[in-house]
Amino acid sequence: MQLRIDGMTCGGCARSVTGAIVSLDPSAKVEIDLSSRTVEVETSASESEIRRVLGAAGYPANPQIVEEMK
């Protein structure tokens, strides 16, 4: 899944986002693109679970730009 996180603006933010996702699913693959403020996640966790942990970490994902990886 791909999520846009408008509040993710620096390397520290990227580490926090990655940490939040990995805390939910330690085997998740996370790719961050700071220039587009997107995160691509390959995980067994559901989209709602990922969005919940990101929101709790202070990085809510934009609900209008969510795409499933093909």
CATH number of the domain where residue 30 is located:
3.30.70.100
Q: How confident is the model at residue 6 (pLDDT cuts 50, 70, 90)?
A: very high
> What's the DSSP call for residue 12?
H
Residues 10, 11, 13, 17: is their CA dihedral positive or negative? positive
What average pLDDT is seen over the chain?
90
Q: Are 28 and 63 in contact (CB under 8 A)?
A: no
Is it the case that residue 5 has pLDDT exceeding 60? yes
Predicted TM-score (pTM) of this structure: 0.85
- Give the pLDDT of residue 50: 95
Structure-model confidence comparison of residues 26 and 67, the more confident one? 26
Q: How confident is the model at residue 62 (pLDDT cuts 50, 70, 90)?
A: confident
Provide the domain limits for residue 37.
2-67
Number of compact structural domains in the chain:
1
